[in-house]
Structure 1
Amino acid sequence: MKYSKYNSLIQLSSSLSVLYNSKEDKSIVISNTKTDLLKLSPEHLSYQDSEIYNNLIQINAIVSEDKNELQEVINLGKQIENNDDYYKLIINPTMGCNFSCWYCYESHIVGSKMSSNNVSKILKLIDNILINKPNLKTFDLAFFGGEPLMYYSKVTRPIIDYYRTKYDIHKNINFEVSFTSNGYLLSDTILNHLTEKKEYKHFQITLDGNREEHNKVRVAQKEEGSYDVIINSIKRLLENGVEVVLRINYTALTAYSIIDILQDISHFTNEIKKNLSVDFHRVWQDKEEVEDIDEFIENTKQLFEEKSFRVVRNDIIENYQKPCYADKENEVVVNFNGDIYKCTARDFNKENSYGFIDDNGKLIWNEKIETWKKLKIQSKACQSCRILPLCGGGCHQINLELLGTDSCQMGYSETKKDEIILTRLEKLFFNE
């Protein structure tokens, strides 16, 4: 027998410590007077303290000598990522946008619009997915960009209309429609079309601080700015049964304005609040050191929750058990020009492309896809990490960009790993 490579021993107090196994997501609490026993070999431990030994066996903190835990973690990760009962098809109708947010990583292309020929290819791709994925249970048709509500009648509407013709044919599949949008262009015509059918619908819409701060970032042509228009769009979507994630982007300068957003949506009824989630994100380009900003954001989240708003609280274990859509095999992004990608968080240029969609709606992948498939958990830092089953090795896109390096892409120190474990234990013991 041997100790699991995914064990962590962390002191909790002057009298107690916890031994946590990240692969099993289980732990035992142990007296500090007995932690030295864990320096013994498993065989000697069984003689010295059979109770602790048996407890460690139960949580797989002690495993057989021939057990390849790393390979088991890799295999489970691949199984999750290669799950064939779900498919996410992301479409960029345009790379144009009605806003020019300073932090946007994309190169907006004015006047870009998916051609009717490429729309036809998308329709054939939908057919190919339904034909070639016999185990499919959920199909998510997602729109990104650019701003996906631009050119709605010429691009997005015909795709959705064709997609909807498949509902009665494939009654065993859950069909979904989703948008990542700024919400400003939501019209009665678009809303009426979206709500014609009862499929699950989802929007992610962003605010950049309170009215004053937001209107500096998302500048509208009209004098009144975009803030109130977007909040009204969110409200209308919620009232029509469309789920919305309100993403609140903040920087060191705008964080303290977020509380005003709570006041501006306080009139939302409990009936529509059930369709709303609030997700807080610091703009990644913002590196300014600000004391207590994390504590302030946490307190702000609690204020939202006190007003019965559901706040997104990500658990690190979801990185592994629920990986990013771009890490999954059954996912593709089709750009307006027919090029295909895996990740939406990078510029849609030729360098980042993974191939193209042909005239028959078939995805023609280039050689990069083979590299992408082999990327997961390739670095020595990941292979030797005691919290790998929580983190999952990070995302494919960053692993691709760090190919050949053996440092932790997350930048976790050993102290940070202990903090992550304690946060996970807090959730297990107090929330679950």
Structure 2
Amino acid sequence: MSKFLKRKVHTVFLMLGNNCNMNCKYCLQHPLVTRQLTNKVNPEIYDFLKECAEELGVNQKLHIQFYGGEPLLYFETIKEVVKHTKDYCWFSVITNGKAVTKEMVTFFNTYNMPVTISWDGPNVLETRGYDVFAVEEKRKLLLDIEQLGLSAVLSSKAYPLEILAAFQSISDEYYKIHGYQVNINIDEIFNTGDLPEELLNLDYSKVEQEMLELGKYYLETRIGDTKTKLSDYTKLCYIDRFFGTLKRFYVEGDGKFNRSYCSCGNGYDVLNLDLEGNLYPCHNTSHQIGKISDEYFSYLNKVLAVDNTKLYKVKCDKCPAVAFCRGGCKLVSSKNRAEGYCRLKQAVFLPIVSVFEEYGRQMAGEVNGG
């Protein structure tokens, strides 16, 4: 009989601690973290992680996402965890990159570890207060990482086209070293409590126009006769994400938002675990929801109780952007949803929908002889 809470999970966010060496203006954790996490490892978490991995089957490994605060401040702990779990887990890191060292880069490459750098492009000093790629020593170290990713936050200080152009510049340099591109991601800013109004005051028309431009460019390049260039990479990669989302929602699914719990999976098939063995509904909060030794249904009821996704189910299903946001984040209040969260999701996604709808009408016209 299992010793620990039992469920089939594919990812565990291992929450190493709350300390950070930066003070990003849009940090989700500022209003949500109210206590320090332990930095001492409870050996029982290794048994728990092994059980989680065994549930996946012999041909799969459990994904451990190292998370902070700033995870590189806990590098010794990362090494310890990898040493104990490398036979049945694979690992990744989300970091601001400021603390990276040559030893860390060697370690990441040894374990084929994807490393994602949080970086917002040309105005990063206004959002994060530090530009890791502007420091030559750090830039060189980061470019030596064999599985490098870049992740930005779309805000009033960082719009899609300028982010993608900045990503492309880094990726071009990276390509010359490795022969392949970086991974990219752009998240939309959202308010979990006390974010500065200046970052939330977006020009939604600008977002919509840029997304429309990107959508049209994608169709011309991917579906038209335009030859793909290396300089197209970040734009096409970014829009590919939306194309895949539409396909999964409308073609592979039934085009309905049928979920009563958060689609990110946090607390369900994604667990958020600290080093002591405590569990959380999200890795961006210090509100403990259970322990690895809890009975499963007791734990699950607590997670469901703090998941507000079901409250918006009817309204979300009427919004075309639900294919993209999938009901949104459970950390966002009704007030903050109404004051900009949903509006930004729509500004990003609906122009892409309109482009593909127009393309579908054109194809239907050709088929029908129009």
Same fold, TM-score > 0.5, yes or no: yes
Distance 1:111 1:381 in 2: 35
- The Cα offsets for residues 309-329 of structure 1, whole Å up to 9 and x where unpaired, read as 343223243785798543573
Matches within 5 A, 1:282-431: 282-284=188-190, 285-289=199-203, 291-296=205-210, 307-310=231-234, 311-313=237-239, 314-315=241-242, 316-317=245-246, 320=249, 324-326=263-265, 329-336=268-275, 338-344=277-283, 346=284, 348-350=285-287, 353-358=288-293, 365=299, 367-371=301-305, 375-376=309-310, 379-382=313-316, 385=318, 390=323, 393-395=326-328, 397=330, 401=333, 410=342, 421-425=353-357
**Residue in 2 that maps onto 1:236:** 144
Matches within 5 A, 1:127-276: 127-134=50-57, 137-153=60-76, 155-166=77-88, 175-198=89-112, 201-210=113-122, 213-219=123-129, 226-229=132-135, 230-237=138-145, 240=146, 242=147, 244-255=148-159, 258=163, 259=165, 262-263=168-169, 266-269=172-175, 272=178, 274-276=180-182
Say whether the 8 Å CA contact 1:90–1:143 is kept in structure 2: yes
Distance 1:417 1:194 in 2: 34
Structure 1 or 2: more strand by fraction: 1
**Residue in 2 that maps onto 1:122:** 45
Higher mean C-alpha displacement, 186-195 vs 130-139: 130-139
Q: What amino acid does structure 1 have at the position aligned with 2:151? A: R
CA-based RMSD of the aligned residues comes to 4.8
> Cα–Cα, structure 1 residues 427 and 205, in superposed 2: closer, same or farther, change >3 Å?
farther
The answer for unaligned runs of 5 or more in structure 2 is 1-6, 191-198, 219-227, 254-261, 364-370
Give, in angstroms, the shift of residue 122 of structure 1: 2.2
Give, in angstroms, the shift of residue 263 of structure 1: 4.2
SS in 2 for 1:190: helix
Give, in angstroms, the shift of residue 152 of structure 1: 0.8
- The Cα offsets for residues 317-353 of structure 1, whole Å up to 9 and x where unpaired, read as 3785798543573210113554322333x4x132xx3
- Answer 1 or 2: higher relative contact order, Cα 8 Å, separation at least 6: 2
Give, in angstroms, the shift of residue 374 of structure 1: 9.5
Q: Could you tell me the TM-score, scaled by structure 2's length?
A: 0.65
Say whether the 8 Å CA contact 2:174–2:182 is kept in structure 1: no
Report how many aligned residue pairs link the two structures: 317
Identity of aligned residues (%): 11
Say whether the 8 Å CA contact 2:172–2:181 is kept in structure 1: no
> Cα–Cα, structure 1 residues 417 and 88, in superposed 2: closer, same or farther, change >3 Å?
closer
Looking at CA atoms only, which structure, 1 or 2, has the larger radius of gyration? 1
